[in-house]
Amino acid sequence: ALSLEDWDIERTTQYILANNHRNVTLQFPDHLLKYSAPVAAAIKRCLGSGYTVAILADTAFNPEAVDEVAARHVNASCVVHYGHASLAAVSELPVLYVFPRTPLHARHTAAAIASSLGASSASSGATAVVILDQPYLHAAGRVQAALQAAASGWQVVRASAAVPCSLSQPVAST
């Protein structure tokens, strides 16, 4: 079961307040809808009066894409998108992405990686690339540190691809 800490309530409300978004939509994929009401209530409590928070559900097109059409139907000033995301460019509204946080035991993960690569890899100067999907991005630093500890003699470098931040601004049309 997910707790409210898994939903980045503080970061979300800070973003909304800092950008003066008075009419906010929260977009949930079908499998996360059961969490939408408690998440919306927590955000409303943090924002106080003067803010509207609406839940977007049943996205007909693609739950990984931002549903700007549905958000515009309620005059939203931004979308907070929960779950896996395609990170495709948006055209009208700023979007804050809240990625899923699947638990990942960093030491076990690092030990499995080190074991599969073997001790000879470290002495041969081989490089291993470990790619973490969106649900595990929250653990990237811990995995890097654990892999460095588990694989003494290896150089472990962390790289991020395609997710420079969790915020997307509308792209101007040409």
CATH of 4-100, one of 3.40.50.300, 3.40.50.11840, 3.90.1300.10, 3.90.400.10: 3.40.50.11840
Q: DSSP readout, 41-100? A: HHHHHHH-TT-EEEEE---SS-TTS--HHHHHHTT-SEEEEES----PPPSSS-EEEE--
Question: What pLDDT was estimated at residue 171?
Answer: 63
pLDDT tens series, the chain, 174 aa:
567 777 889 999 999 999 999 999 999 999 899 999 999 999 999 999 999 999 998 766 788 889 999 999 999 999 999 988 887 888 889 999 998 778 888 889 888 888 877 755 656 666 677 788 777 888 888 888 888 887 766 767 766 554 545 666 666 554
Question: What pLDDT was estimated at residue 40?
Answer: 97
Question: What pLDDT was estimated at residue 146?
Answer: 86
Contact 168, 71 (CB under 8 A): no
Q: Give Cα separations from 71 to 4, 56, 135, 139 (angstroms).
A: 23, 7, 25, 31
Q: DSSP readout, 94-143? A: -EEEE-------HHHHHHHHHHHH-HHHHHHT--------GGGGGGHHHH
Query: Where in the chain do CATH 3.40.50.11840 domains reside?
Result: 4-100
For the purposes of burial, counting CB atoms within 10 Å of the CB of 42, is it exposed (0-12), middle (13-18) or buried (19 or more)? middle
Question: What pLDDT was estimated at residue 103?
Answer: 84
Question: What pLDDT was estimated at residue 73?
Answer: 93
Q: Which two tokens stand for residue 115?
A: 């074991």
Question: What pLDDT was estimated at residue 77?
Answer: 96
pTM over the 0.85 mark: no
Cα–Cα distance measured from residue 103 to residue 151, given in angstroms and rounded to the nearest whole number: 22
